[in-house]
Structure 1
Amino acid sequence: MQNNAKKSGGPRATKIRLEDVAGRLGISVSTVSRSLAGHPAISEETRGAVHAVAAELGYRIPTQGRRGKKPPTKLIGVVVGALHNRFMTVLLTHLHDALQELGYQIALVIDSMNDSQNLLAFRPLIDGYLDGLIFATATLDSPVVAEMQRRGIPLVLVVRSVDDVMVDTVEIDNVHAGAVAAEHLYQLGHRRIGLVMGPKNTSTSRDRAKGALSWLRDAGLPTDAISVVWSEYTTEAGYSSAVSMLNEPRPVTAILAGNDTIALGVLEAAKRRGMQVPEQLSIIGFDDTPLANSPLVGLTSIRQPVEAMARTAARRLVERIRVGGVGAPVHDVLPIQLVRRDTTGPAPDAS
């Protein structure tokens, strides 16, 4: 495991007041106050503008006084975007167990938390009840992570990272992992390779694609021999993307899927086309979920140490809570492993 401690950034921000929000928008303090309270006399447009600026500036609702004004609740919020990914449910199980051993319980928040409106909606929960937060599906463009960091709320990112925000993070080296997956396919003789990634605004998709493309480029594979599709981390996205790639004039002989859920959709597309895996199409995924090891699937995958990630994230957050949020952020980078099973083999046109 690699620990890269980063220096914390600058002095604490000045306390934001209602007057600051009102001044930014050029409206009265009473209008700001009624907007935040959800008063029916305030238009939806004005409420939206006030909420957005309040979140941007880091305004804290006074009636929900934070640390020092409320006793610890021993309750941790775990934020995920969705639960269709089996890897995420396994991670949640390990987070629950790890936090429980440390004397904490979890409150699951299923929301992308990608905009300021959502942050305002969850503030009563965050400010009034939670001792800290673990974000499992943060996006690169999410304003919420920076907002939580600015407000001094104990926070840990797990699985994904966010650029230019000094916060505790637990992840794998996704660039290296992408390179390992690409090298595996290349060494099997594949020279027409497709990448079906998740959303482009996630560090996992961005970095896995970066690692794979960089390795293949350095190996001498021409750009037109590689197809890249950015989609969602769903089976449906894997299926539709694979169908598109396999319909090309020179179809790919191998597909690197952004995660195992996408890979299952690719497998379904190959099955419906009557293609043999791996004789006609090789498929590799990421995460090494329990289903990947099923005899019915036998998916080659890049294993993330999910239990170690959960336990490390839980420990980091509890440490952060106990010291009152002070100290330099820590970046934990955990090792990966290529697990070769039945879905990858020599390219059909390899000599």
Structure 2
Amino acid sequence: MATLSDVARRAQVTAATVSNVLRNPDKVRPETALRVMRAIRELGYRPNLNARALAEGRSPTLALMLSSIANPFYPEFVLAAERAARRGGYFLMVCNTDDDAEIGRAYLTQIAGTLAEGVLVLNTDIAINELCESAAVGAPIVLSLWEHPERLPALPCVAVDFAHAGALAAQHLLELGHREIGMLVGDGCGGLQDARATGFRSVMRDAGLEPDDAAVLEIPDTIDAGFTACIELMAREPQLSALFATNDLLAIGALQALATLGRKVPDDVSVIGITDIQLARQVRPLLTTVAINTEAIAQASIELLIRLIHEPRGPMPPAVTAPLPVLVRRQSTAHRG
């Protein structure tokens, strides 16, 4: 493998000149820079980014820590975040904790401030005070997809009004004439999706309805769990005409379960989720959902993190509020028959 010294010998310049061509080309005469770049191409030289980071005391890399890359939402978020990081001049490193807080702590210890100049955290079981301690001695940390805009953490964050998303789902089902509605509430690495459920319940109560506890299940945040829970719920409460799921994975599991039970969607049972992942636009029937703007959230999160990196001694920026969720009507909801 070619080294920086090999390039310098081929171009007949010093190693420092090669380094300047790669990092500060404006400091090098154009004809010299052309000679160096030609030598780089001929030798197939690739700079050692880790060595550069150690020499400069910084790394052009951001870390994104998430709970499970198997969740179809996260690859969509990562794609948008990677694009935003690249536009900001950074590489993006994805750290999958596999729903294990200890793995997350190990990532923070090993990469924050060394391999990564900043860390973006999505849905974690690590306590906020631990994250604050890590940020104080390592790299800046930003929380994304924070679900409680009314109760902000002691760290910079991008907050999403998920209570509003739940309220929109309830309004939609009520407008369609549904009154007997079951709830599938996800419980993932970031905890129970209670803000979404709270928003839903609030609208129901305003309409004079109180969801029956027997028609509410708190379950793991997966398609399989949505399937199993829907089977149980429909056996327990066969009169239900609609199901609200706090995310699309649970809703998609419910669609599969209803098909297995021979219940037609939306003729017999309407189903609505939250998020609007790509699968929501691919399943049949197409899933009605409340969409969060994943791309905008990812971009705002990366931009906030980069701002903290460049202004380490500045005041902590206020929380960034994501665009409000919006209802996306598709084929899985209809007027109560």
TM range (shorter): 0.7 to 0.9
Partner-residue secondary structure (3-state), 2:164: helix
Is 1:247 aligned to 2:238, yes or no?
no
Contact 2:73 2:277 in 1 (8 A): yes
Aligned equivalent of 1:124: 110
Moved more, 162-171 or 338-347: 162-171
**Structure 1: distance between partners of 2:332 and 2:309:** 44
Aligned equivalent of 1:336: 325
**Structure 2: distance between partners of 1:252 and 1:128:** 54
Aligned equivalent of 1:191: 179
**Structure 1: distance between partners of 2:274 and 2:103:** 32
Aligned equivalent of 2:145: 159
Aligned equivalent of 2:50: none
Contact 2:58 2:114 in 1 (8 A): no
* TM-score between both structures, scaled by the size of structure 1: 0.73
Partner amino acid, structure 2, of 1:208:
R
Q: Deviations over 1:151-186 (max 9, x none)?
A: 363111111357663222113211111111011111
Superposition map of 1:74-93 within 5 A: 74-93=60-79
* TM-score between both structures, scaled by the size of structure 2: 0.76
Aligned equivalent of 1:174: 162
Shift in Å, 1:142: 5.8
Shift in Å, 1:107: 1.1
**Structure 2: distance between partners of 1:232 and 1:150:** 33
Query: Cα RMSD between the aligned structures?
Result: 2.6
Moved more, 76-85 or 163-172: 163-172
Number of residue pairs aligned between Structure 1 and Structure 2: 282
Aligned equivalent of 2:306: 318
Contact 2:112 2:138 in 1 (8 A): no
Q: Deviations over 1:115-154 (max 9, x none)?
A: 4575146512224221000012234856543333443631
Contact 1:191 1:225 in 2 (8 A): no
Aligned equivalent of 2:200: 212
Structure 1: stretches of 5+ with no match in the other structure? 1-66
Partner amino acid, structure 2, of 1:159:
L
Distance 1:97 1:187, change over 3 A: same
Partner amino acid, structure 1, of 2:115:
Y
Distance 1:125 1:149, change over 3 A: closer
Is 1:256 aligned to 2:250, yes or no?
no
Distance 1:245 1:309, change over 3 A: same
Partner-residue secondary structure (3-state), 2:215: strand
Aligned equivalent of 1:99: 85
Distance 1:122 1:136, change over 3 A: closer
Q: Which has the higher contact order (CA 8 A, sep 6+)?
A: 1
Contact 2:117 2:140 in 1 (8 A): yes
Contact 2:99 2:189 in 1 (8 A): no
Partner amino acid, structure 1, of 2:146:
R
Contact 1:140 1:161 in 2 (8 A): no
Which residue among 217, 226, 230 is the counterpart of 1:238? Answer: 226
Partner amino acid, structure 2, of 1:181:
A
Please identify which structure carries the higher helix content. 2
Partner amino acid, structure 1, of 2:325:
I
**Structure 1: distance between partners of 2:281 and 2:162:** 21
Distance 1:223 1:261, change over 3 A: closer
